[in-house]
Structure 1
Amino acid sequence: MLPVLHAAVTWTLVGLILTIQLVHYPLFSQVGEPGWPAYEREHQNRITWLVGPLMLAELLSAGWLTLRPPEGLPVWSLWLGLALALTIWVSTGLVQSPLHGRLSATFDAGLHARLVGSNWLRTAAWLLRGGLCVWWLWLLH
């Protein structure tokens, strides 16, 4: 049951990161200078309430699966999944969140480009995690 729930949370985050990376972040440059600070602050407030609980659920369930591996799943793949989740957390905390903080004062095209570019790491990590989850479910059935 936990692998199914874990996969559901992970794939929800895959869909969310693809929407952010391919739609939402690129559109930041279209907001305009006068409304930008309020827009960025509101983005941070709203996205945190959506992403925060999902990321926490994903990390906790990844840890649980790794520490108590279901029979039939390669342990190395569970550790890889956990490492990818931790990579996402580190990137979020050390790269994306600080960039959002700096962007909340004023729109800066260079910072925006760094945000979009650096976010590809999280996007790739979540896509890999999603692939692992599909593989795990296939192995378990």
Structure 2
Amino acid sequence: MSSDDAPQGRDMTLPEWLSSRVVADFANDGILTCPAEAPLEEVAWMMVENRVHALVVADGADEGQVISDADLIAAADSGHFDELAARDVAGTEAVGVGRDDTLMRATQLLAEHGVTHLVVRDGEGRPTGILSTLDVARAISRR
């Protein structure tokens, strides 16, 4: 069932509703990346400038980690903020979810991996966007 054909949210339980909606309808399109060697001050600036809470750390063709604002706060607390680069503090492996996967699957991945952001991938595995816990909460609040 496509999201357009699904019954209205209040007619279903939350798990039913999450299972009837696809990630592509709620994810942010486009991937914001930072170089692995980027100084943390630059990473912070990129997050603020783009109004996001996380970036994908790009190390060549590999998009293997996500750096979040929480990672920046932890680095600031370490006393070594100015000496560190994105690759040094990126806290979580980039967990992927398919564009056509359900929001239920996305919530399961978020919970299983203890992450706040998923890299959304197309059918060929290419990254196409980001889905955050805030995106899921926003979707739930509007069902």
Normalised to the residue count of structure 2, the TM-score between the two structures is: 0.30
More strand by share: 2
Q: Greater helix share, 1 or 2?
A: 1
Q: TM-score of the superposition, structure 1-length normalised?
A: 0.30
